Amino acid sequence: MKEAGAIRECEEHGWMQDCADPHAKERALEIARRDPLVGLSDEAVVALIRNVLDELGDMCPECAREQSGQLAS
Interval 11-49: pLDDT, tens: 999 999 999 899 999 999 998 888 888 888 888 988 998
Q: Is this structure's pTM higher than 0.85? A: no
Out of 38-47, 51-60, 62-71, pick the least confident. Answer: 62-71
Rounded CA-CA distance 66/62 in Å is 6
What pLDDT was estimated at residue 62?
A: 92
- Give 61's Cβ-side CA count (13 Å radius): 4
What pLDDT was estimated at residue 53?
A: 87
Has residue 72 got a pLDDT over 70? Answer: no
